[in-house]
Amino acid sequence: MSKPLVTEREVRRAAREGKKSLDVSDAVVTPSARDVAGALGVELTRGSGARGAPPEKQSTPGSPPAPNQSSTSATTSPPRPTVAVGADHGGVAMKNAVAEHLRAAGYPVTDLGTNSSDPVDYPDFAVAVARAVASKQAAVGIMVDGAGIGSCMAANKVPGVRAAMCYDVTTAANAREHNGANMLTLGGGLLGTRLALAIVDTFLGTSFGGGRHAKRVEKIDALDRRG
């Protein structure tokens, strides 16, 4: 008899219902379910069917890991890359939370606005962030608007930019590892701050996989040169 499968859908449902834990006894838990559980603060536990078993390991949003960070305390970590951030009026609060989170983790942050709730046009700020990435003033860009979609469209018009709109940690990891994304767009009206920070941490902490993905990304970049 096959074991039941626990996905991020079940975890999100538990979070919406206000549950702090979810019994996953005798179930197979997907990696994305563990990631979302960590982001939403839902503990995955084993019930009486697995007495004494420890809770499922799950990710928690914290300081984004530095690439190739050594486990030896005596080794000095490499400097963090500069991150350019931007937002329209619908994403300014989340943008500020992201910027504060990154600075606390040691990332140099270039804030390109906006910085108030006065209505502005998201393409202007998305392109500003994208140009900072394309010109290598920043290694990575993060843009927040209401849904994250329009800013992604605008940013991808800038040659050299591979922007990805991510809505969970799985899409964030995929965007970096498979697609070599160098800019992240977020929907400030669709995501909670806790999950958004987990997405940011995953995006920055995941390296491009290279290999079979490299030639595919090269084909994406070649579209910029064709005009």
pLDDT of res. 136: 97
* Tens digit of each residue's pLDDT (9 = 90 or more) over 137-184: 999 999 999 999 999 999 999 999 999 999 999 999 999 999 999 999
Q: Is the peptide bond before 114 cis (omega within 30 degrees of 0)?
A: yes
178 flagged as catalytic: yes
Residue burial 24-37, b: 16+ Cβ < 10 Å; e: rest:
beebebbebbbbbb
Catalytic residue among 89, 101, 178, 213: 178
Beta strands 109-111 and 43-45: pairing type? unpaired
Residue burial 71-81, b: 16+ Cβ < 10 Å; e: rest:
eeeeeeeeebe
- Indicate left, alpha or beta for 210 from its phi (over 0: left) and psi (-120 to 50: alpha): left
pLDDT of res. 119: 97
pLDDT of res. 13: 82
pTM above 0.85, yes or no: no
- Indicate left, alpha or beta for 216 from its phi (over 0: left) and psi (-120 to 50: alpha): alpha
pLDDT of res. 77: 66
Which parts of the chain sit beneath pLDDT 50?
A: 49-53, 59-60, 67-74
pLDDT of res. 12: 78
Tokens 């992201």 belong to 98
CA 63 from centroid of its chain's CA atoms: 12
- Residue 165: count other Cβ atoms within 10 Å of its Cβ: 23
